[in-house]
Amino acid sequence: MPDVVRAASRRMRHLLPGCCFAFALGATGVLVLPALPTPVTLLGLLVCAVLPAACRRRAAGWPLAAILGFALAAGEGHRRLDERLNSSLEGTDLEVTGFVASLPVRGVRSLRFDFDIVSGTRSPLRARLSWYERGDAVRPGDCLRLVLRLKRPRGVVNAAGFDFERYALVQRIAATGYVLRVLDAQACAPRPDIDRLRAVIADSIDAGLKPGRIRATVKGLAIGDTRELGDADWDLFRATGTTHLIAISGLHVGLAGAVGSGLAWLLWWLWPRLCLRVPRPQAMAVAALLSAGAYTLIAGATLPTLRTWLTLAAMLAGVLVRREVGWWTRYALALVAVLLCDPLAVLAAGFWLSFGAVAWLILAFGRGWRPQAWWRRWLLPQLGLTLALCPLGLAFFQQASLAAPLVNLLAVPWVTFVVVPVLLLALLCAPLSGLAALLWQLAAWLLLPFDTLVATASNWPLGRWTLPAPTPTSWVLALLGTAMLLAPRGWPGRALGIFGLLPLLWPAADPIPPGVFELTLLDVGQGQAALVRTATHALLVDTGPEFPDGDDLGDRVLAPTLAQLGVRALDGLIVSHDDLDHAGGTASLRRRLPVAGIQSSAPSVIAGARHCLAGQRWSWDGIDFEILHPPPLLPYLGNESSCVLRIAGPGGSALIPGDIGEVIEGRLLREQAEKLDVDLLIAGHHGSAGSSSAAFLAAVSPHEIWYSAGHRNRFRFPRAEVLQRARAVGAAQWSTATAGALHRRIGAGRATSGARDHLRRWWREPPGELDGLH
């Protein structure tokens, strides 16, 4: 019998890693689905997988594990979609009771926080709320009775950029909205919440340090509080490959575990009799898990930190059960442990980056690779890690940092082994406010070299490498090619891995022929940004909104989308006027992308801009561009001074009128009526009632009208009367609010397409209709 048990144990050890990897691969399958399979289909898949296993077919293990992983992830996806706010409650005033569930983020005019609603909706859910003009801060765990106006999570959808709907699904956010009024600020007793302790620690850091990126970095490293880091700061860290260091990372949780393990070793060394009760290796493993778990709680027990703790537990599993477990088996167990706790972790970039980095470290050091030269021990792992994570960085962010190996060579040991220990000591001394304040200041002083390094490295030539996100096929080929290139020395055909990277480095393009132009109206919410591309040139008209808290969509939407479309530099930028919904992303976009020339009706507020004036003309690749408004002597009138651009080629024409109203439309009718007749019109002022007059639409006589508007915006753009006027002239109508980014190649016979339909994913809201139209 012992021989049978040992044989079964050996077989299990050989089968377990493969089944774990198959399980993870199956869960990954939900990433590419436009829609989730029905529960009946999932049940059928499980039956088909279980039957061979029931017949004891040896090959059934891996397929069964893959189908189980897929079914678990898809089932969790159905559950979270069902948790979202019922659509019948959107836009209605709801009286709810709930608890503040996050650290509040204070903006210029609002307070933003997550709120766990326990009553007032059809089922409990978590909502992300904005509280405008709020003077008093709320604390995590506070019980409030509020009147809210909610809607289902909905973000902008473009060729690339931040996907809020996927983020909301991962974070279990079932609704977004804002507070109308407070009914009871103390509706019930506050609930215990670790975030209350984090808020106290954050306040103590704020009291001892000056506002700025270093203070924000201290809070991020100490307690995972990144509220003060703006888009510009995150862009800086992405450009230098140091984002993994800023919030609580695996290195920091591992270091906390190492501290606990070291204390246990010291305790067992001082009192050897403890070994008679608990062996020292097991005591050290338990202490490591406890100290890492405590640090995870202080960091807010967020998904990334929980993922790190579970990975650490899986890696220590062999020690705890007193069995020799290979590194790849531990890795596979960690994968399954994370996916069992959160089957949709595969939707988060951090999941892939974390496990990708660990896989490379096992590949590099798992077989005892130890170069003798000290510089090789430091440099080669960083170079290998940059190469290993390059396909993942391009897939999620459309960029990779070529400066990362050198920056991380200096930053990782400095932050991990110098700064973080000081921060851990400060956390331990938090009850002693005076000592803790000195340690916070010491940590800030130690971060100065790191901050200087990343600020300098972000400006290095070729420091940031931007490419379109790879297709699933080219991504898989790149991963295989990377694995071959990083294989151990002596691996046959290792150099052939470079061919797997070629589709990633030189992605397939869809060239625009001369005499044809592409018009893309980006989905930027309540704002406007339109991209015009010819065979060899690119022009952007407006840059979307800036929000009251200072953030904009230049980093989140414009730069990634332009990279995805193959635009590495702009030959021109027109900012129609200086309203924040049209000019908000200008500064951040210029920080990310070279811009050859800028025109605006308000050049004094944009550095290096020149005035756009009626009569200006130029031609690119057989396409004619002309500014129709404003005339030279017109004073600046805000919306009415918007640059009006006409684009015409052999196969069609388009008009982008900015935010002009009926007065300027009438002037154009009187003075330039012959130039208004176009095929495609982007509606003036987002479809407001004061624009797109019946006479103007009759003169333009467009085949299509596009509206740039936010979903359920408070202005109700496009207005119903404008839709009726457009219907009267027989124009097809599209809105970014319902269809996402709009795209058409004019002159090539291609119809208009919306990104929400063309790039359909199951976690996104489906394309809507605009009063029975597109």
Query: How does pLDDT run across 582-600, given as a tens digit for each residue?
Result: 999 999 899 888 999 999 9
**Bridge partner list, 175:** 127
Structural tokens at position 363? 């590949």
Query: 629: burial class by Cβ within 10 Å (0-12, 13-18, 19+)?
Result: buried
* Residues in contact with 255: Cβ distance below 8 Å, sequence separation at least 6, in sequence order: 416, 417, 420, 421, 424
Query: Looking at residue 285, what is its pLDDT?
Result: 87
CA distance 436 to 131: 33
Count CB-CB contacts under 10 A for residue 189. 9
pLDDT-derived band at 4 (thresholds 50, 70, 90) equals: very low
Helix (H) or strand (E) holding 21: helix 2-28
Name residue, tokens 């012959």.
674
- For 157, phi then psi, to 5°, come to -125, 115
What is the reported pLDDT for 11?
Answer: 52
Torsion on CA atoms 478, 72, 396, 239, rounded to nearest 10: -110
Percent residues over pLDDT 70 in the chain = 92
Q: What digits encode the pLDDT tens for the residues 258-289?
A: 888 888 888 888 888 888 788 888 888 888 88
pLDDT in tens, 239-263: 888 887 776 666 778 888 888 888 8
- Using CA atoms, how far apart are residues 617 and 596, in angstroms rounded to an integer? 16
Rg of the chain, C-alpha, whole Å: 29
Q: Is 731 within 8 Å of 703 (Cβ atoms)?
A: yes
List, as one string, the DSSP characters of 458-495.
TTSTT-EEE-PPPPHHHHHHHHHHHHHHTSPTT-TTGG
φ/ψ of 679, rounded to 5, equals -85, -35
Range with the poorest average pLDDT among 319-333, 557-571, 686-700? 319-333
Q: What is the pLDDT of residue 307?
A: 78
Task: Let me know how many helices (H) and strands (E) the chain has, helices first.
Answer: 28, 23
User: In the beta sheet, which residues pair with residue 113?
Assistant: 129
Task: Band the pLDDT of 1: cuts 50, 70, 90.
Answer: very low
**754 close to 742: Cβ distance less than 8 angstroms:** yes
Structure tokens at 379: 């440099």
Task: Report residue 646 as tokens.
Answer: 């006409």
Strand partners, 110: 132
CA 557 to chain CA mean position, Å: 10
From residue 727, alpha-carbon distances to 667, 723, 732, 734 in Å are 24, 6, 8, 12
pLDDT band per the 50, 70, 90 thresholds, residue 465: confident
Between CA 86 and CA 724 the distance in angstroms is 30
Spatial neighbors of 302 by CB under 8 A, at least 6 apart, are: 224, 248
Q: Calculate the dihedral angle through the C-alpha atoms of 413, 415, 417, 421, rounding to the nearest 10 degrees.
A: 180
Cβ contact 584:605 at 8 Å: no
Average pLDDT score, the chain? 86
For residues 366 and 370, give the distance between their C-alpha atoms in angstroms, rounded to a whole number. 10
Do 189 and 141 form a contact (C-beta atoms < 8 A)?
Answer: no
Q: Which residues are registered as beta bridge partners of 546?
A: 552
Can you give the pTM of this predicted structure?
0.90
- The full length of the chain comes to 774
Q: Note the pLDDT tens digit of each residue in 538-566.
A: 999 999 998 876 678 888 899 999 988 98
Residue 8 pLDDT exceeds 60: no
Partners of residue 125 on adjacent β-strands: 117
CA distance 423 to 259: 13
pLDDT digits (tens, 9 = 90+) for 165-217: 999 999 999 999 999 999 888 878 888 888 888 899 999 999 889 988 999 99
| The pLDDT value given to residue 523 | 97
Which amino acid is located at 247 in the chain?
A
Closest alpha carbon to 740 in 718, 719, 759, 727: 759
The full DSSP string for 701-746 is --SEEEE---TT-TT-SSPHHHHHHHHHTT-EEEEHHHH-SEEEEE
d(CA 515, CA 748): 9
The pLDDT score that the predictor gives to residue 773 is: 47
